[in-house]
Structure 1
């Protein structure tokens, strides 16, 4: 049932965030929740969740739809409507009623998939009629899987235009995304801001440093995330076979888009005995366990705008070998544990892993911050002409909870 919005307590600016709910769990589900909770430290916040994104049988992770795998939840100050179903009636009507009752100053639409486009158009038109300003936050221009289907790509490219014509501001995660977005769509006159992805430190339930073995012993590598063609896992499997026997690899991820090549290569690898393959979407508690058991995270993406696994790794203070593609360089450029490598080269990847082993054994400081993200939204709101109370403009910028842990000697993390 939808929560009933309360009247504003102190005249604060009101914001409603629209994004993925928990039923079709993905990284955007976590991002929507974390952003809403962060904005609620400054603004009166509501959240409208996309509940049933599409027919369950069409979803890559159809077997787990509706399962409770997340431990994260919305903070009590956030008023949550859960949620909108793809067929619209009556859920979309109720969402508009929620929007009208909450009466926000700004509606923030999370963009990551074309399956939400028709619902977003309705919400956008309703917002404009109510005098609500509209912001679209782009996680990528279009989902890579959808872009491969001609009709899905045409649908998105066509129907997103009336949405963008009614958009007052845009948020992106990097200068790379900004350039890609503006080269794809006509956004002349629409202000934008770069809000670097905030930390995913909700997975790190053991932030207190604990003693560990020296980095010269066995080195445990971790690949984490959905297994899709652009993730480059096949490059890592090939690179891993070139590494000394003191290296082990754990692959944790759910196969999407029928991309079974990595699984086949793992089974055929001469180093298969040193590879553990967990081919499913894991719970939050398991996420924490896998990252705490790792010495290094390897993300060999062929392309990417942003990466939730990268931010989970940084929140755990782990060394990360990541390809220098898309917005990932900007996301990790200030992280002392990052080693960048050319995409699509297993030999270069193997060399980078060996080189990055020197970073293992200590906890690196995560530079990301949700306060910085909120500050970027505040700047955009001001440029859009949204009245911002003076107290809401004052922000104490801190970083991930990882920042509370000092950088330690090489034998500790």
Structure 2
């Protein structure tokens, strides 16, 4: 089959670009696939991180697609459309994650509709932090689609309500793999980072909905036997960090919290995950989670809320532990349970067994299933 995938890819930063790079490779192993990516995603004022591109070596995930699209250059979209016409695809798959792209994607999808069916792979149907116009723009932008792929039950229900005649398939977020960075043991990783006691990790772009404040509150309310527990926070903070600094100061957590407010390259991130006992995902809302997928790839358990797809992807007692969404006291109990009995190591086998279910082939299968029903 001839498929076009429109998605951010490497060297653009963040989970959407990583996902797009891995998915492009997965499609290309089974089909002829043209990847369309971006020269530039956003104006700087909409991207509070330190730069939109990752510097360094291209990851082992293969082709990164044609970097032709630019948010502010209509000619780039016309060139991309000409490329699609020349490729003559049987399906076009567009990654959707924010309404910023509603005008661009609506125009593109309506033009492509004249050639072949259009499908949306929705990372987030609606943003985690919403504005009053987001729903209207999103419904308008997604209307040309013949079908959808999502990662959570809530998003599946939302799209089925909006477009009852369209097929909406749910598949779990696939696991990423960082094989070259995973050749060291937990002990070696901890030695390199200077970790001596227990360690929990919180990583990724830090935004209010991800609940870092809940993690800090929980750390503050653990008993005196947890004085050796360090919370390592790794990721750029989007927006003000006052709320986090205030909690740290209020509860005198300076010795227990390390904030590494920077974007980590693969090796740096792998080192921190491998050194950790578990990764915290205290999210208030969630759809699919690249953080969870990355953690599983490294064989580490998680402590997660029950928001969105986390409820299904985290198997309580096997790949980690759940706690009540938005409840720091419940998170305290989950941390205590993590370290009870045999401790975090008792989850390792469960993670290894479960992660084989979250494959990129599942997403390619879903694309094929959508096309078969045209």
TM-score interval (norm. to shorter): 0.7 to 0.9
- Quick one: distance in 1 between partners of 2:316 and 2:167? 26
Pairing 1:172-251 to 2, within 5 Å after superposition: 172-183=150-161, 186-202=162-178, 205-206=181-182, 218-243=197-222, 244-251=226-233
Q: Over residues 129-161 of structure 1, what are the superposed CA-to-partner deviations in whole Å (9 max), with x where a residue is unaligned?
A: 2x211001111122223x1x33xxx2x433444
Q: Which residue of 2 aligns with 1:90?
A: 75
Count how many residue pairs are aligned between Structure 1 and Structure 2: 357
Q: Which residue of 2 aligns with 1:158?
A: 136
Q: Which residue of 2 aligns with 1:59?
A: 47
- Quick one: distance in 1 between partners of 2:317 and 2:87? 39
- Quick one: distance in 2 between partners of 1:202 and 1:92? 33
Q: Which residue of 2 aligns with 1:297?
A: 279
- Quick one: distance in 1 between partners of 2:51 and 2:135? 30
1:72 to 59, 62, 65: 59
- Quick one: distance in 1 between partners of 2:206 and 2:180? 23
- Quick one: distance in 2 between partners of 1:60 and 1:83? 23
Q: Over residues 170-215 of structure 1, what are the superposed CA-to-partner deviations in whole Å (9 max), with x where a residue is unaligned?
A: 11112232113334xx2121112112111012376225766789xx
SS in 2 for 1:246: coil
Q: Which residue of 2 aligns with 1:391?
A: none
Contact 1:16 1:46 in 2 (8 A): yes
SS in 2 for 1:201: coil
SS in 2 for 1:167: coil
Gaps in structure 2 of 5+ consecutive residues: 190-195
Shift of 1:352: 0.4
Check if 1:42 corresponds to 2:26.
no
Check 1:209–1:58 CA distance in 2 against 1; reply closer, same or farther (3 A cut): closer
Contact 2:302 2:321 in 1 (8 A): yes
Q: Which residue of 1 aligns with 2:360?
A: 370
Contact 1:172 1:194 in 2 (8 A): yes
TM-score by length of 1: 0.80
Contact 2:159 2:168 in 1 (8 A): no
C-alpha RMSD of matched pairs (Å): 2.4
Shift of 1:69: 5.5
SS in 2 for 1:144: coil
Q: Over residues 244-278 of structure 1, what are the superposed CA-to-partner deviations in whole Å (9 max), with x where a residue is unaligned?
A: 11311101121113354123323443232021110
- Quick one: distance in 1 between partners of 2:137 and 2:60? 32
Pairing 1:276-315 to 2, within 5 Å after superposition: 276-315=258-297
TM-score by length of 2: 0.88
Name which of structure 1's ranges 366-375 and 292-301 shifts more when overlaid on structure 2. 366-375
Contact 2:102 2:140 in 1 (8 A): no
